[in-house]
Structure 1
Amino acid sequence: CPENSHYDACGTACPATCAHRDAPTSCPHPCVETCACDPGHVLNGGRCVAVSSCGCTHDGRYHPPGEEFWGDESCHARCRCDAELGMVTCQEAGCKVGEKCSLVRDGVRGCYPTACGVCQVLGAGTYSTFDRRSLRLAGRCRYLLASGGGGGSDGHGDGDGGSGEAFEVEVEEEAGGKIRRLEVTVHGVTVGMEGGEQWEVKVSGERQLLPLVLAGGAVTVTREGTHRVLQARDGPKLLFDGAAYAALTLPVAFRGRTRGLCGDFDGDATNDVTDPRALGDAWGIPTPGCTHGDVPTACPLPPPERCRMLEGP
C-alpha cells in the first residue's frame, strides 16, 4: 500500500477525503478490499495526507488550513479554515471606527482606514506616531521622521490601490526642545525648513521666499498663519510652526508602507517602537557631535527660565 495507508480486507468503498470527511458514514456500498488511509489521514488527489494539511473551499475560493478571512462583502463575518473540522467557521465581526471594508489590489477583502495618518513632533523630544503611540527621544542627531511610498509593501496593502509618491522626511531638534530643521525629499526636490523662519525655505540648498510651486506643480510650499506648509501631490503634507511643533499627514495609500520615528502606519499602535535607544539606533543619521537614545528630562530648562514670563510684573 502507498505511504500513510494500510491493507484492509473489508474497508469502506467511500473513503474520507479532504472535501468529504464523513463520506464513510453514509456510504451505500458494501465493503471492499482496499488500501485504507492510516488514522489521522484522508484521501486528497489520490494520496493519503494528514487531516491537518487539508484546506477549505469557501464561495469557490481555496483557503489553506488556519487561514482567516472575511466571509462576506461587507466584512460582517470573520471566518477561519478549520483543518480539524474540514470546514470554514465564521463569527460575527466588523470593521473598526474609521475603517471601511474594501478590496485591495491582490483581491483580498479587508478593513482599511478612511482617514489620513498624522504624525506629530510635539517638542521636548516627544512624538506621536501615525498610529497614535506616544514616544520620547532626547537625541540631538538628525532622524528619519518618516519615509515610504513608491511601490513596495509589507503585506498590509492599501485602501485605494495606490502606493503613494516616494518621500523622505528628516528632523533635527536642538536644546530646549525646539526643532532645528525639517527636510522633505519628494518628487525629485529637497525642501528644508529651518526653525525660527516663517517666510522662507531652502530648495536644494538655495534660499527661496514663499509661496513656491515646485516640480511642475507637484509640490507647493505656502504660509498659513504662522505655519509653513508643504503639500506634495499623492504624497505627504508637512506643517511646521517654526518652533517646536510639526505635523506630517499622509493619505491612506501609505498604510503599512512607512518607516521611521513615526512608525509603520498599520493601525496597530502596540508594534510601534518606543525604546529611545532602539529608536536612535534604527533611525538616527550620524552627524558630528550628536548623541541619541536618552529619555528627555521632565524639564529641560531650569524653572526660572520656564517661569520668568509668568512671574514677571
Structure 2
Amino acid sequence: MALTYGAYTACLSDRPLTAALDVLKEAGLTGAEVNVGGFIPSPHCPVDALLASKTAREDYLGLFSERGMRLSGLNTSGNPTSPLPNEGLKHAEDIRNAIRLAGALGVGEIVTMSGTPGTDPTAKYPTWVVNPWNGIDMEILDYQWSVVVPFFKEIDALARDNDVQVCLELHPRNLVFNVPSFERLIEETGATNIKVNMDPSHLFWQQMDPIAATKRLGGLIGHVHAKDTKIFPGAAYRGVLDTDFGHVAADAEGKVPVAYGYWCNAWPEDPAWRFVALGLGHDTDYWADFLHAIEQVAPEMNVNIEHEDAEYGNVEGLKLSASNLLAAAAKL
C-alpha cells in the first residue's frame, strides 16, 4: 500500500469533469476529490442524480476508471451549524447527502467543517470566539458546543451506517479549528467516524506545527489536503489575527461564494500570510518529512492538492504543486 496523490477539482470548476481529470492525470496524479455542496457549487458531481440511480453511479465512476484515476474524496466544506437558514440548514443537509453518496459510491471519506454557531439561540449571525479571556465568551462557547456536539453525534451515526469517515478541516472561523478543540469534540461525542482532514496550510499561519499535530492525532487523521502557506513581513505588525479586509462588489468577476448572498472578502495588499502553491512556503524536504509522518499514520492515505494560490493560473498552479508534491514523495 502507498499514499495516493491527487487533487481537489474545485480550482478546475470552469471545465467539465472529464477535462479536469485529464489535467490531473497530465500532472502525474491518480486521485480526484470533487465538491458536492457547502460553500461552493458542485459542477463535477450531480449529487441528486447519483443518489437516485445505481446506473448513474456506475457510469460516473467509469469516467474515473477509464482514465486510470480514482475518486478519492467528496468535499462539502461549509458552515452546517450556522444560524443563517440559507447557510446552516443547507450545508447540514449537504453533509448528510455527501455521506449517503460516499457510501453508495464506495468512497471512504468526505471533507467538511464543524461550522460556527451564533452566540445564543436568538443570534442571527455566526460568531467565532478567538480568545475567551472575557468570562462572557465562555457562555458563548458553552452554547456553541451545545449545538455542535449533538449535530455531530447525528452525523457520526449516519457516517457509521454508511461506512464513511467524516473528516473535519481544522479551519479558523470554526468551533473546531485546532487539535485541542477536535479532541474535545471526539471526547464529548464519543464519535468513531469523525476524523481530521489534515490541511497544513491553516496550521502554518496559526504558527502550529503540522508534523507535530500529525503525530499527536495519529489515527484520528482520515484525509490530507496538500496545501502550503507563506508568511510575509506584514506578520511583524499585523499578527495572524487581522480584520483589515475589504468589501468585494456584488458584480465583481471571479468572486468566491461562501453562502447565498455572501462571498470572500478582499485581502490586504501587504498580508501577514497567504496560501501559495505547494513548495513555495516550505521546501520539498519539509514536505517529504510531512508525508513520512502521514505514512506512519496510514500508508494508504489520500493526499489531495488544494490549489488556492492567486498568483498562478488554476492549471499552472496545480501542476506546480503536483510537481513539488511528487518530488517530495520520491524522497520517501
- TM-score above 0.5: no
What TM-score results when the alignment is normalised by the length of structure 1? 0.23
Q: More relative contact order in 1 or in 2 (CA 8 Å, sep 6+)?
A: 2
Higher strand share: 1
In our comparison, the structure showing a higher alpha carbon Rg is: 1
Higher helix share: 2
